[in-house]
Amino acid sequence: MHFSIPDTQELTDSNGSTFMGYNIHINGVFHCTVRYRQLHNLHEQLKKEFGQDRLPHFPPKKLLPLTDGQLEERRSLLEKYIQIIGQDSKLVSSDLITGFLLSAQQETTNERKQELKLDIYTMNNYQISLRVLSTDRTEQVLAKACKHINLPEEYTSYFALFLIKKEETGDIVILRKLQDFESPYISYKSVRDSNRIVLRKSYWDNEYDFELMTDPIALNLLYTQTVSDIERGWILCTKEVKSQLAHFQARLSKREYIELARTLKYYGYIQFVPCYCDYPKAQTKVLVAIGEQELSLRLIGQVVKEGSFKVTRMRCWRITATHNKQSIAAHSTASITSNLELSFEYLMSKDNLQWITISSEQAILMSVCLQSMVDQLLVKRNGIKAKPTEPHKGQWSYMKRDGSSHLISLDDPDVYPSTTSSSTNGETSTKFQESFSIKKLQEKFSSVSFKSGKDFVENHAFEGIGDDDL
């Protein structure tokens, strides 16, 4: 998981007092704005749950108001803190972190819990209209979508919700996979222009296809996605194979269609938009695809050349992000100058490691794909089957920006109780209402405004090359 706190902003509460908010970006997208004391409260709860030894050092409190230099130092230290948390799979997937980020997103957007309609699509544009709560997290919305189409519950974990963008040309771009620490409704609402949420399979080992093809609903999901990927050219095939596929499609022979498609290049891969790479030389235009335990590069030119980089020979990789935001008029479209890079250190031959850099607006998605591929590879190597979903542990405490705290269940992360006031001994206490100072929040969610930084990921599935491999 890629965390950053690229900048801060001064906010004003309902009493006119100002405080500093820290803007948290996750996987390249603005997620929420929190105060220092909210992160400190989270740290204290993590310490009780996991112990101090597992946690990084938390930036100390200051008695006096911070100078500009001290503010920048705190921002940097908090960023390092959450980046270390993000590299620990047990911590970042815990109920505490998930619930905190989910509630912080809700508080940042001032989104109150309400039932509403949310449309999910399959890859053949079939619309699944759901009634959801605005605060439902991704896992809950995914479960509702799968139940709506009668997919057996045991197959739900093989699928995920993705946010995609539809281009004017009709092409689609996969923006990101929605995570369980966010509300799909809130995330979609903030960037919904030309975007939609789609249901796609979410695994790298294509052997799972055979298990899913035993169920008619799962089979149909695989079939419609495969047809869509072939029509878009994401899966390569010859005219002869296309003719065979058309024959199976006309007969509605879905299993035979998939079995033939499984033999084709780039089946089960995620495709990315054209970008640039410094391999084999600087400013080489390439098409990147990730799947089958590799990152594939196709060189775009008069003659298409292809290079394959096995994920098990990537010793590590890192994301470098530098974004310069242009001045934006109050009612104009955001203009962003971006430079996102994915660099990986690759074992070309025995004792020969080489850094390769890809410049792409989808660099962070590429990194997330590599990480999930490595995670699944390690699970399979260790002979561990997917764990059943465990019940969430009761309730925990979420501190709001005004300093008040109340217990919130992960399955009901409502930071705004249905009653806006409470009476104690005849005295009425009005619920805190913050005067939020973010202008055009939609612009903030749809743009990444990093300063600069590197997010380094070590590959625990890295394999060396012996003499027998040469």
pLDDT single digits (tens) 42-74: 999 999 999 999 999 999 988 878 888 999 999
The reply to whether 3-112+396-444 and 270-382+454-469 are identical in fold is: no
pLDDT for position 169: 80
For residue 51, list its beta bridge partners.
none
Q: Is the pLDDT of residue 174 over 90?
A: yes
pTM of this prediction?
0.85
Fold of domain 270-382+454-469 = PH-domain like (2.30.29)
Of the candidates 343, 345, 339, the residue with the CA atom closest to the CA atom of residue 360 = 339
- Per-residue pLDDT at 183 exceeds 50: yes
- Give residue 413's pLDDT: 65
- Say yes or no to pLDDT of 428 above 50: no
Q: What is the pLDDT of residues 329-384, one digit of tens each?
A: 333 333 334 589 999 999 998 889 999 999 999 999 999 999 999 999 988 887 76
282-291, 327-336, 395-404, 451-460: the lowest-pLDDT one: 327-336
**Between 345 and 389, where is the model more confident?**
345
Contact call for residues 118 and 188 (beta carbons, < 8 A): yes
For residue 293, the model assigns a pLDDT of 94
pLDDT of 79 reads 95
What 201-204 contacts at long range (C-beta under 8 Å, 24+ apart), as own/partner pairs, is: 201/158, 201/159, 201/160, 201/225, 202/158, 202/159, 202/160, 202/177, 203/158, 203/376, 204/268, 204/291, 204/292, 204/293, 204/372, 204/373, 204/376, 204/377
User: What would the pLDDT profile of 300-330 be if each residue is shown by its tens digit?
Assistant: 875 668 889 999 999 999 998 765 444 333 3
Average pLDDT over residues 102-130: 94
Question: In the prediction, which pLDDT does 303 show?
Answer: 62
Q: What is the mean pLDDT of the chain?
A: 84
Q: Is the pLDDT of residue 253 over 80?
A: yes
Given a cut of 80, is residue 239 above it in pLDDT? yes
Local confidence band at 202 (pLDDT 50, 70, 90 cut-offs) = very high
Domains in the chain: boundaries: 3-112+396-444, 115-261, 270-382+454-469
As its CATH architecture, domain 3-112+396-444 has: 2-Layer Sandwich (3.30)
For 115-261, which CATH class?
A: alpha beta
- pLDDT grade, residue 412 (50/70/90)? low
Residue 89 has pLDDT above 70, yes or no: yes
What is the mean pLDDT of the segment spanning 105-130?
94
- Per-residue pLDDT at 427 exceeds 90: no
